[in-house]
Amino acid sequence: MSKATMVRAVRFPLIYLYLVSCIMFACTSLSGTQTLRETEDTLATGKTVGLKDIRVKGWLPPGGKARQDIAIALNAMLKDTKNTGYAARLLNNVIQDPLTPRDLKIEAGYMLSLVRLIETQNKEISRLGQVLRTSEKRKEKLQKERDELMYKLKKMEEIYIHTEKRRGMQ
């Protein structure tokens, strides 16, 4: 066997294996984006999903990775609106990634601005809760003082009535 035929005999199966692996790789990537699409549809209705349903096995293109991170951030916000730091970090990563498509950066930016608004509202709610607790304590203290003053006023009234009776008797 000559060297040229041997090279052809080795090269064709290698090319065939390469093409088959590329096709299989593409199929797993497509099935991953399909499950991601189904997860996004579920999240769009306001329902939460498990993290294992969002994470796609295999390789994802940069746009798919950004969609996955946005879905994870939305899921985290749907589960717990008080813990917004994780969602904000994910969305910041999507925005700062140079490989992310522009439309997904814009979507992540919109979501990040909403997450920041939720953060400020959570801070305002906690501050108002603190003010409410202190005002309730103040209210209880003032009611107690009022009750004490009412008791003293009744006692003074009784003393006054008692002294008027004694003056009337004299």
What gap in Å lies between CA 66 and CA 102, rounded to an integer?
11
pLDDT at 28: 46
Structural domain boundaries in the chain: 3-142
Predicted confidence (pLDDT) per residue in 63-99, tens digit: 888 888 888 888 888 887 777 888 999 999 999 999 9
Whether the predicted model's global pTM rises above the 0.85 cut: no
H helices of the chain, in order, are 3-44, 51-54, 62-79, 85-96, 102-169
What gap in Å lies between CA 40 and CA 69, rounded to an integer?
11
What gap in Å lies between CA 37 and CA 52, rounded to an integer?
14
Predicted confidence (pLDDT) per residue in 127-142, tens digit: 999 999 999 999 999 9
Q: Residue 30's Cα: distance from chain center in Å?
A: 28
**Helix 102-169 and helix 62-79, axial crossing angle in degrees, nearest 10:** 10
Predicted confidence (pLDDT) per residue in 30-56, tens digit: 455 677 777 777 777 777 777 767 777
Half-sphere exposure of 148 (CA within 13 A, CB side): 6
